[in-house]
Amino acid sequence: MKAILLAGGQGTRLRPLTLNTPKPVVPIFNRPFLTYQIDLIKQVPEIDEVVLSLNYQPEAIAAVFGDGSALGIRIRYVVEPEPLGTAGGIKFASRGLGGPIVVFNGDVLTSIDLGAVIRLHRERQARATIVLTPVENPSAFGLVETDSRQNILRFLEKPKPEEITTNRINAGIYVLEPDTFDRIPDGVPWSIERKYFPSLIERGETFLAFDYQGYWIDIGTPQKYLQVHHDILTGRFPAAPFRELPAPRACVSAKARIDPGAIVESPCFVDDDAVVEAGARIAPLSVVGRGARIEAGAVVDGAIIWPGSVVGGGATVTGSIVGRDCRLGPSTVVEGGAVLGDRTSLTDHTRV
């Protein structure tokens, strides 16, 4: 059995972080994001290969994951000649594959029991099965209606309040039969949500929903990217490198250099070769990347500092994201969900 990860997007919602780092390898702590999806896929022993469907900076992604041997599963790459949309990309990546095929959107982080989704698909001999998850604000999403036997009835695109009949949305995880892809034209951008899925309903084919109530997040925005770190740090989403750590969770590398006069508060993460000088404070829910330097008197509070960046003496970074190799001068203030792209340089006393 094969899995396809749709990882061809340009990560525009995460810019400027993704200008130099493709979204599939954006770090969650010190691991590329897609590693978490691969961990989930590996829980199904039957899946023996992951196909990464790429378009944007494919060489950079392949350089990180290689053939998959380091992760314990075979990885193959398919590069779209041009963006083909969600359905077009799946058909292009599925050439030569038998079914059923597991498909993940490249933005999703979840702890779903993938084996249970596959079992439902097979037991009901479905042509397609999609995972649904509830949301607090249904009016902001496309919704999916089902009957009492989990058959999908229709899709509602961002309905008006009076049109809302459910709070469940497409979670971006599918089990699909490749012989249904004949309705997807070759070489043409084609939407799985707006064209392929409706075709299953129109033809009366068995099209099922798997209801999932557990952890699910789309990391495609800076706010959600921050949130997923906080969720892992607090144990809301049990995942590496904190899964086995007791609360309060602090993961401080033995290779980091923490001055005895520094304050490091749980939960937090400090990676290899990071330096935290005397009088500096790493407050709860903070992440300090590999080789970053937090100078004397600086404060990192609920923020993410990517590898190689320097937070100058007396500076404060609160609830924000600082990209790679940035230089924040002494007494600068970065707050309010600010996002600094790679190699940003802020002069002394700057406020962002």
pLDDT confidence of residue 113: 93
| CATH code 3.90.550.10 region(s) in the chain | 2-218
Backbone φ and ψ of 350, nearest 5°: -70, 145
Cα 249 from Cα 238, distance rounded (Å): 11
Backbone φ and ψ of 87, nearest 5°: -75, -45
- pLDDT tens, position by position, 161-200: 777 788 888 898 999 999 899 889 888 888 888 889 999 9
pLDDT confidence of residue 241: 77
* H/E segment holding residue 122: helix 114-123
| CATH code 2.160.10.10 region(s) in the chain | 250-346
pLDDT confidence of residue 124: 95
- Would the CA dihedral through 160, 161, 162, 166 be positive or negative? positive
Given the candidates 3.40.640.10, 2.60.120.10, 3.90.550.10, 3.30.160.100, the CATH classification of the domain at 2-218 is: 3.90.550.10
CATH superfamily of 250-346: Hexapeptide repeat proteins (2.160.10.10)
- pLDDT tens, position by position, 267-298: 999 999 999 999 999 999 999 999 999 999 99
